[in-house]
């Protein structure tokens, strides 16, 4: 039992250590993955921010060169003839081809009237804020990028414009381009910057300009603030960054959200990534713990089988230690333990008992005549016959050879004599046939009773032995009593 408890306690300790390690692993992995996700979100936002800055800086450079060329060509003095329109249109088309993010390169005269440069002209743009700002002849403002608006073709566009001046430096018009972010959407969807990430470009009023997931962020519409709270991202400052979690699931998971205001441009970068990165370590942990539990169960079952076999062996050896292997009755050691118990009961409660010694008559002769196998069979049958008359409180044992003993609980010598005479009749009925010869069995029995004078086991056995000797002297096959007188 002690070994079982040690094994069980050790297994539970090992399991608790494994569970602790599993929890520690999940927590540490969660922290590690959180840091990785944060780094990934920041990297993607910075990458797209630099990409936008590079694209618009390039556009601004091309428009600036085109503005200088138009100034040198005397743009302010050009007559508005079809030939001049055609010449300028060819120049704009050439520059248009170098600008990946442009859907239209155009020119505006000093009255803010759109010139026919590529597809459309003659439209009055004087009410446009970008035209008014550049028309004010503020020397510090030479270029502009607008917030998204609907153009004459009802497209959601952004204008990037550069002022054209005459040779005296006065406002002569604007050269600009339209961007509807179709190019950026295609680029974002094909870039695959990181698996599971979504990247969206927003205007300052949170209109979706480009995105890698139009399903959740439709282009041209205001962002759904159920996913990303308005109060969190409103009022972003120059180059400001925010990191938080989405309020709702989309694409089946809550999202980690990173928002960045692009420097010098009226755009906001929104990058998200599903927060299901802890599933993998959790699954690994569950699989590991489950495997460990299975291993422990296998180990415990194997030990249970081992201990079961050990118990069977222990019971077998215990039987060998306390029971006679031939007859199955208790042996001398077992009898001595029982005898001590009977005497203690007599000491404490004055429970009377008798003790009877048995000898099988002429047993040596049976062995010599018919062999030890027959003798062994006689011993077995004799023991079975004696066991049948024992009550649950009685005790029968083989002391050795053909010598047996019986403790009769709550029985005085007289009552014991009556019971044992009945037993003698049973013993006389034992018959073994050997080579057409019949072997009969009888027994001599000596009985004595415990009392105040004699309650020592050795003395009781001696008195019973004296009675047994008397039964043999009187002719065997009978019961003899040795009565001990009680002191007065």
What's the pLDDT score for residue 447? 95
Distance CA 358, CA 478 (A): 10
Dist. CA 142–CA 133, nearest whole Å? 9
Read off the pLDDT of residues 53-86 as tens digits, 9 standing for 90 and up. 888 888 888 888 888 877 777 765 544 445 554 5
pTM (global) more than 0.95: no
Read off the DSSP letter of residue 251: T
Q: What is the pLDDT of residues 348-376, one digit of tens each?
A: 888 899 999 999 999 999 998 889 899 99
The residue ranking higher by pLDDT, 179 or 101, is 179
Mean pLDDT of 130-140: 76
Over the stretch 291-349, which tens digit does the pLDDT of each residue have? 767 776 776 677 677 767 777 776 666 666 778 888 888 988 889 889 999 998 888 88
- Cα–Cα distance for residue pair 321/398, rounded to 1 Å: 13
| More confident call, 13 vs 412 | 412
Task: Please give the residue that has the higher pLDDT: either 272 or 467.
Answer: 467
Give the angle subtended at the CA of 194 by the CAs of 192 and 195, to the nearest 5°: 90
Distance (Å) of CA 47 to CA 40, 50, 53, 342: 10, 5, 10, 96
The pLDDT tens digits of the residues spanning 396-452 come to 999 988 999 999 999 999 999 999 999 999 999 998 888 878 889 999 999 999 987
Beta bridge partners of 178: 104, 159
Q: Which residues contact 399 (CB under 8 A, 6 or more apart)?
A: 331, 332, 335, 405
Rounded mean pLDDT of 17-30? 70
Average pLDDT rounded to a whole number, residues 218-226: 80
Q: What are phi and psi of 121, to 5 degrees?
A: -160, 180
pLDDT number for residue 127? 72
pLDDT at 488 over 60: no
Stretch 156-185: mean pLDDT: 83
* Dihedral angle sign, alpha carbons of residues 238, 244, 249, 252: positive
Q: Please name the CATH architecture into which domain 332-482 falls.
A: 2-Layer Sandwich (3.30)
Higher pLDDT, 116 or 239: 239
State residue 114's pLDDT score: 79
Q: What is the CA radius of gyration of the chain?
A: 56
Position 175 confidence tier, pLDDT thresholds 50, 70, 90 = confident
277: pLDDT confidence band, cut at 50, 70 and 90?
Answer: low
Residues 6+ apart with CB under 8 A from 131: 108, 112, 125, 161, 174
For residue 487, pLDDT beyond 60: no
Report how far residue 413's alpha carbon sits from residue 211's, in angstroms, rounded to the nearest whole number.
109
Contact 269, 48 (CB under 8 A): yes
């Amino acid at each position: 039992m002690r070994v079982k408890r040690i094994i069980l306690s050790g297994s539970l300790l090992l399991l608790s250590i494994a569970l602790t390690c599993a929890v520690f692993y999940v927590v540490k992995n969660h922290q590690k993955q959180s840091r990785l996700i944060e780094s990934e979100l920041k990297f993607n936002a910075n990458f797209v921010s630099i990409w936008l800055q590079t694209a618009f800086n390039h556009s601004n450079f091309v428009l600036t060169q085109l503005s200088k060329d138009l100034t040198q060509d005397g743009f302010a003095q050009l007559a508005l003839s079809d030939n001049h329109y055609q010449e300028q249109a060819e120049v704009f088309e050439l520059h248009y081809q170098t600008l990946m993010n442009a859907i239209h390169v155009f020119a505006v005269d000093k009255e803010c009237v759109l010139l026919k440069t590529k597809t459309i002209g003659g439209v009055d743009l004087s009410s446009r804020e970008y035209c008014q700002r550049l028309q004010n002849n503020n020397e510090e403002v030479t270029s502009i990028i607008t917030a998204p608006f609907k153009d004459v073709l009802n497209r959601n566009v952004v204008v990037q414009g550069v002022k054209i001046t005459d040779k005296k430096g006065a406002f002569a018009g604007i050269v600009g381009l339209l961007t509807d972010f179709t190019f950026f959407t295609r680029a974002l969807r094909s870039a695959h910057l990181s698996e599971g990430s979504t990247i969206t470009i927003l205007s300052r009023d949170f209109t979706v300009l480009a995105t890698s997931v139009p399903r959740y962020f439709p282009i041209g519409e205001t962002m759904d603030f159920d996913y990303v709270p308005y109060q969190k991202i409103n009022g972003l400052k120059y180059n400001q960054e925010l990191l938080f979690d989405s309020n709702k699931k989309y694409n089946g998971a809550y999202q980690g959200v990173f928002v960045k205001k692009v420097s010098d441009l009226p755009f906001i970068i929104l990058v998200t990534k599903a927060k299901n990165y802890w599933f993998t370590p959790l699954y690994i942990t569950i699989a590991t713990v489950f495997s460990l539990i299975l291993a422990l169960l296998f180990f415990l079952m194997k030990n249970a089988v081992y201990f079961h076999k050990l118990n069977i062996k222990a019971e077998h050896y215990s039987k060998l230690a306390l029971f006679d292997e031939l007859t199955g009755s208790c042996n001398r050691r077992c009898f001595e333990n029982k005898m001590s118990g009977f005497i203690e009961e007599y000491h404490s409660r004055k429970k009377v008992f008798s003790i009877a010694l048995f000898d099988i008559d002429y047993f040596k002769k049976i062995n010599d005549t018919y062999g030890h196998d027959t003798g062994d069979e006689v011993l077995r049958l004799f023991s079975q016959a004696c066991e049948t008359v024992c009550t649950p409180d009685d005790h029968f044992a083989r002391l050795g050879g053909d010598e047996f003993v019986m403790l009769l609980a709550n029985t005085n010598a007289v009552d014991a004599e009556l019971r044992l005479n009945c037993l003698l009749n049973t013993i006389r009925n034992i018959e073994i046939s050997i080579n057409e010869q019949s072997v009969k069995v009888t027994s001599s029995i000596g009985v004595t009773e415990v009392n105040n004078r004699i309650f020592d086991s050795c003395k009781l056995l001696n008195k019973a032995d004296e009675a047994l000797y008397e039964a043999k002297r009187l002719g065997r096959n009978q019961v003899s009593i040795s009565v001990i007188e009680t002191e007065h």
